[in-house]
Amino acid sequence: MPVHAAGSRLYHGVKFKHLVKKSGSATSAKSSNISLNLVPFVDMMTILVCFLLMVFSSSGALLQAQKGLELPVAQNNSVLQQAPVIIVTKSEITYQGQMIATVESVLRDDSPTFKIDALFERLDAAGKKIKDDVAESAAGISKAVAKDLVKACEEAKQGIRPQAGKICPEGLAILQADETTDVRLINKIVNTAKAAGFDNLLFAVKNKS
């Protein structure tokens, strides 16, 4: 096997002679051909792709980015799961992207029920639908809920702690609130969720580590 001196080998096998004037051919002393060394480029691309694949996360897609909403920071957390999302920004409360009430009006409301009525109605309807979906999926009528989540619901009834990201969707909701939100508002939302049968709340946080 012949041994060649180190150096660029790219495009040696491609005959581009017809594109080059005879006076400036690659082989002559005054060559006008430039062979780019693509090895560093390929190296850089490979490293970049590896890095991006490592940081790739699908959990962020579960939550909608809200202007001016800063999530609180926490150390001990687990992966997010798909569930109805209640968003509390500095000015308003939305459920699944639909406006429910303004923060000011909810804080002003001193009703003895300590609930947000508009949110209760939405959550109650959503809770019933999720319950039906789980029941139909468990009976094999539909595939609205994944098998592992149906299994998680059965385990929850037996008191078995669910795995992270595989919590029974019945009574599960995500609360995405700004870190500066007044806790009175959070208390009202938690109370409303509990009244509507949402006994499991996932508080969206920013990962500290």
Partner 1 sequence: MGASVGTDGKGSVNVELNIVPFIDLMSCLTAFLLVTAVWVNIAQINIQPKGKTRDTANVQQDDEHVTLSVLVQSDQIWIGLSRVNEFQPIPKLASGEHDWDKYKTALEVHKKSAFFSERQDLEIAAESTAASQVKYQDIIRAMDVAVQVGFMDVGLSDPAGLAARPTL
Contact footprint for partner 1 (CB under 8 A) = 1-2, 4, 9-10, 12-13, 38, 41-42, 45-46, 48-49, 52-53, 55-63, 71-81, 107, 112-114, 161, 167, 174, 177-184, 186-187, 190-191, 193-195, 198-207
Other CB atoms within 10 Å distance of the CB of residue 117: 13
- Determine the Cα–Cα distance for residues 82 and 79; give it in Å rounded to an integer: 10
In whole angstroms, the minimum distance from the beta carbon of 84 to partner 1 comes to 14
The amino acid occupying position 174 is I
Cβ proximity to partner 1: between 62 and 118 the closer is 62
The packing angle between helices 147-157 and 117-139, to 10°, is 100
Smallest distance from partner 1 to CB 191, Å: 5
Residue placing its CB nearer to partner 1 in the complex, 57 or 105: 57
In whole angstroms, how close is the CB of 205 to partner 1 at the nearest point? Answer: 6
Cα 26 from Cα 47, distance rounded (Å): 33
CA 94, CA 18: separation in Å to the nearest integer?
67
Q: Is the dihedral of CA 127, 133, 138, 139 positive or negative?
A: positive
Q: Give phi and psi for 94, each to the nearest 5.
A: -125, 150
Shortest Å distance, C-beta 137 to partner 1: 22
Q: Which is nearer to partner 1, 35 or 142 (CB)?
A: 35
Nearer to partner 1, 65 or 139 (CB): 65
